[in-house]
Structure 1
């Protein structure tokens, strides 16, 4: 059985293709020539399953999407106190490139705005590090998160440096207050090369899922970050990751997120999954127009709002038992998107000995509408593969037994 999740992602992409509002980041020459119609999305679960759709193999530079990962690296290298001494944690309520610092301390307000990100960049590999060594540490760390070797796009770096007056002003301001010690040009060069590291949406989904997984890279199984580092990073993303739109974002979408002016957008749900989208057209806040709409749909349709009261089930398959020609798949707990993905993953690669599959939902406490849709589609595809399929549902928790093709699932009275 082929899992329907990439098809769902493809449907969501199709639903936003006609949204042509916003503009590419024309203040950076290389990004000004970006193809505005490119569109992609990817999801990686904490169990290491990656699903994607659209232009998922296209590479683009991370830009500000790099900020939470470098913040996590600084916390891992130096510890919380040292990083807090250099940069705060409060949302600024201002645009990402504002020339503003905290009153009294002169620290940047948070690590997600440019002033904070330049400061955090300068912490990596020690204050005496060369630009080359610092960027190599960051590139190597990102490659470990993505489980493949990533590279810096030097062409984009040069393009951005030609128009880096604003960031140079920020760096001079930080240096004048003793927040950074490197000269302004080298600080901006180091930060710009960090932002010019190239990724795909699949890379970003895996990297973000590492934060969701408490620092364990879900594909390789290697622990890269401490759990408290991930918790702090996600906390800052939730309050400041979407700049001056962060409050509205958390209220409506409810997914800790970070955007970048190349069109990337990442989000993560602790203990569940990482999400990434790519679409170059930006709104006035510098966030991807289509990416925002995709996240809004994912949050609403898949029940991914962090503050939702719905419980999540990550071990939804209680057991699979075969008896003669029948195989019974026993489910348990609440079935939302995460639980449904777990169910589909359990059954999609398995060979069943008999001819009939019975889905026992007697221990399921409830279905989220997307969970129900995904599980039913899985059954329908198993039927297409040649199995007889049926549902044992004595409490009527599935409610609607109609498949996507208009046919209905068989219901059995006993198993």
Structure 2
């Protein structure tokens, strides 16, 4: 598994198109060659390659997680009175308000500022709201996370557009907090430091219906996790979301520090890092990585053969041999669980039929190995 993930990032390493996020000074001077990939199953098995321990700011990847928290705190009806769930069809830093004065969805900046203001209510101090979110992200990741003060200061210095959004949201009655406080709170949310390992586990928490796969803690409800992933499908890659679902078929969210997450509901959380961005603000190499993952490992959730079926149906001993009966479509996720199940039961078998890169869906019905 690790070898396959390493081969994927090696295949994109020489792609150096795209630009760093030059409107934020710290990100402008980031190492453009950082490259990492991690994958976490919903039962807590983590695989990581490349610069997997390198910390970078979470940026807009924070948005679906904060949206899920707000849903649990106030319920969908109250949250959706403040923010919509439709794709804007525009860049993340455009102001899109519907006829009721609501931002189009919680994943564009205007929507994320609005949702941020719901956490703790309008009267909570910036520092207290920021600490609530830092602690929440830490629970999602399963370790204590910190805020990068350099990123926070750098983004505040370049926050004129977001401050303009906040003033317009106040004028529309969508938020009631001081505009500059609202932006400071939102930027603190984006400045939390993570690794791709953290993000893969956080994504796996959404994929697992809100249950953290390593610690076992239920961090958000299954309903909140479902709604967050639904919005990721339609809006997670901004104005490239339609093309993303056509080519990749994985609910996703990007960040301008070069991070990118994806979720396979009930199965996996995935995260990559590569700081160079395309014109939509998505990681160039990250997009290539996810396209290769989706294609080579059968992860497109819209494919007709994408489903979870039982893997190991039965193991029995016959004539000094272990007979393993498999059931269902043996795609990547099932193959990974099957191999771990065989190891757990101390059954070792040589087979080339479980997983082949050029044919991720290899067998249906019952197969004996």
For the 8 Å contact 2:298–2:306, the answer to whether it is kept is no
State how far apart, in whole Å, the 1-side matches of 2:96 and 2:365 are: 58
1:190-210: per-residue Cα shift (whole Å, max 9, x none)? 000000001111111111111
1:123 counterpart = 2:125: no
For the 8 Å contact 2:316–2:324, the answer to whether it is kept is yes
Residue 31 of structure 2 corresponds to which residue in structure 1? 35
Residue 313 of structure 1 corresponds to which residue in structure 2? 308
State how far apart, in whole Å, the 2-side matches of 1:14 and 1:211 are: 28
Number of residue pairs matched by the alignment: 369
Residue 248 of structure 1 corresponds to which residue in structure 2? 243
Q: 1:278 aligns with which of 262, 273, 278?
A: 273
Q: 2:14 aligns with which of 7, 12, 18?
A: 18
Gaps of 5+ in 1: 362-366, 376-392, 399-413
1:155-201: per-residue Cα shift (whole Å, max 9, x none)? 11001111111111111111111111111111110000000001111
> What secondary structure does 1:185 align onto?
helix
State how far apart, in whole Å, the 1-side matches of 2:96 and 2:41 are: 38
State how far apart, in whole Å, the 2-side matches of 1:316 and 1:370 are: 19
For the 8 Å contact 1:63–1:195, the answer to whether it is kept is yes
Question: Greater Rg, structure 1 or structure 2?
Answer: 1
> What secondary structure does 2:292 align onto?
helix
Residue 52 of structure 2 corresponds to which residue in structure 1? 56
1:203 counterpart = 2:198: yes
1:236 counterpart = 2:231: yes
Residues 397 and 301 of structure 1: is their aligned pair in 2 closer, same or farther, counting only changes over 3 Å?
farther
TM-superposed CA distance for 1:318, in Å, is 1.9
State how far apart, in whole Å, the 2-side matches of 1:396 and 1:171 are: 56
State how far apart, in whole Å, the 2-side matches of 1:305 and 1:34 are: 32
Q: 1:259 aligns with which of 254, 259, 275?
A: 254
State how far apart, in whole Å, the 2-side matches of 1:94 and 1:222 are: 36
> What secondary structure does 2:263 align onto?
strand
> What secondary structure does 1:258 align onto?
strand
Residue 406 of structure 1 corresponds to which residue in structure 2? none
> What secondary structure does 1:276 align onto?
strand
State how far apart, in whole Å, the 2-side matches of 1:360 and 1:285 are: 40
